[in-house]
Homo-oligomer: A and B are copies of this chain.
């Protein structure tokens, strides 16, 4: 018996609270602004005012400033010292975010193919099987969840935490748009085929094919999102 579990007041029935559930104002501001920018609620090159934002969101400027620093590092805004903060997002930016994600995901797929363990392979296959069923009969939300699980499993298999985190930041669309896409029968069919091909390549350890299949999948599906999000307004 392990001493620690004996001595410590440990109780498996109650999970430890994840500190991440405790959010901060800064985080809330960050999410809100990020979402607003990505959904085009700011114009390209529009200036935003820290004090004004603070007032609108009912907070002081401190969390606003911190959130803006994060957005700046993400490349969504640009701060001109002592002059102003500009929104930096348009369809071109979104396109490059897709390319970034494609590049990173394909690198991760490559490594996953190289590092995949037996049990992880089985789990990945299980996800694909569930996807097949959900594609036929499931709702959009089921597919979205499976989609996330699929990519997460690959991230975990690759053993790359830094890369996985980077990829998360390249998402420029929200749940509502995903729901639209995952409701389209044609898109569902294509996505399933692509996912199956990716999984097969990774499970078979074919790094090269994994890489390409993943890249092509991310680029193609990304372009589908682009068309919907930016419709007819492709800015300069």
Contacts and interface: CB of A to CB of B under 8 A. Distances in A.
A46 interface: no
B22 A99 contact: no
Contacts of A70: 69-70, 72-73
A213 to B, nearest CB: 15
Interface string A95-120: 01101101110110001000000000
A65 interface: yes
Interface residues of A, number: 38
User: How many copies make up the complex?
Assistant: 2
Contact of A163 (B96, B160, B166): B96
14 contacts: A19-B83, A22-B81, A62-B62, A62-B65, A66-B69, A67-B69, A69-B69, A69-B70, A73-B73, A93-B162, A99-B111, A100-B107, A102-B107, A103-B163
Contacts of A111: 99
Contacts of A99: 107, 111, 160, 163
Interface of A: 19, 22-24, 26-27, 62, 65-67, 69-70, 72-75, 80-83, 93, 96-97, 99-100, 102-104, 106-107, 111, 160-163, 165-166, 169
Contact of A22 (B62, B75, B82): B82
